[in-house]
Amino acid sequence: MQQSLFIVIEGLDGSGKSTAAQHMIPLLEKELNVRVTLTHEPNRNYCGGNYIRDVLEKKITEFHPRVLPLSFAANRLDHCTRLINPLLAEAGNIVISDRYYLSSLVYQSSEDFPFESVMKLNEKATRPDAIFFLNVSSEVGYARMGTRDQAEELFESRLEEHRKKYLQAIDFLRNTTHDNIVEIDGNGTVEQTVAQMMRVIRQLSVQS
């Protein structure tokens, strides 16, 4: 593999993004002889990360609706600048981000602030080589969240609405940025989910 790859995993709360990503690391390292860095957004280490976390955990409840899309976009751009881009600049790396700008389209867009406006804020964010949308039924999502035993966060209670928004946002990206978005069936076992993603990454690594 010549070029490094940037892979994003997206999906509803409880879809199993981080579990699938964790399982993929040793498989990718062994099979493709690469160094894999797993990261996530929002990320406390980058611009505005602590503020975002406080809002998600409902420690901060008073905020202007425009503040969240701005904060997530700033967090992302700093994440790109100081972690993702330097890794991609070296050969032999795969960077996997658990959530990226598709999440902003889903959770930060509104009637007042459409997909176009959210993407404008994210126009300098590095484009992924593939975005996996881990699609699970709401039943599976709620069941998986229930096993996590944490207080419910700001966006966790509206899975059906968010799934619809994901599908709309995916359509929007396919028609505008033409990102490579691959839907993955996440209702089965971790192994089945990971196998679907591995197939795509294998193919990308041959092309790069």
Give residues in contact with ligand TYD (CB under 6 A). Answer: 13, 18, 41-42, 56, 72, 98-99, 103-104, 107-108, 153, 155-156
Judged by beta carbon, residue 28 or residue 72, the one nearer ligand TYD is 72
175 contacts 115 by C-beta, under 8 angstroms: no
- For the CB of residue 39, give the shortest distance to ligand TYD in the complex, in Å: 11
**Residue found by looking up tokens 């041959």 in the block:** 206
**Cβ-proximal residue to ligand TYD, closest one:** 107
128 contacts 6 by C-beta, under 8 angstroms: yes
Judged by beta carbon, residue 21 or residue 34, the one nearer ligand TYD is 21
Which of 77, 118, 128 minimizes the C-alpha distance to 98? 128
Structure tokens at 160: 């059906």
Judged by beta carbon, residue 41 or residue 129, the one nearer ligand TYD is 41
- For the CB of residue 87, give the shortest distance to ligand TYD in the complex, in Å: 18
Which of 204, 8, 202 minimizes the C-alpha distance to 104? 8
Judged by beta carbon, residue 99 or residue 163, the one nearer ligand TYD is 99
- For the CB of residue 206, give the shortest distance to ligand TYD in the complex, in Å: 30
Percent helix, strand, coil in the chain (nearest 5)? Answer: 50, 15, 35
- For the CB of residue 176, give the shortest distance to ligand TYD in the complex, in Å: 17
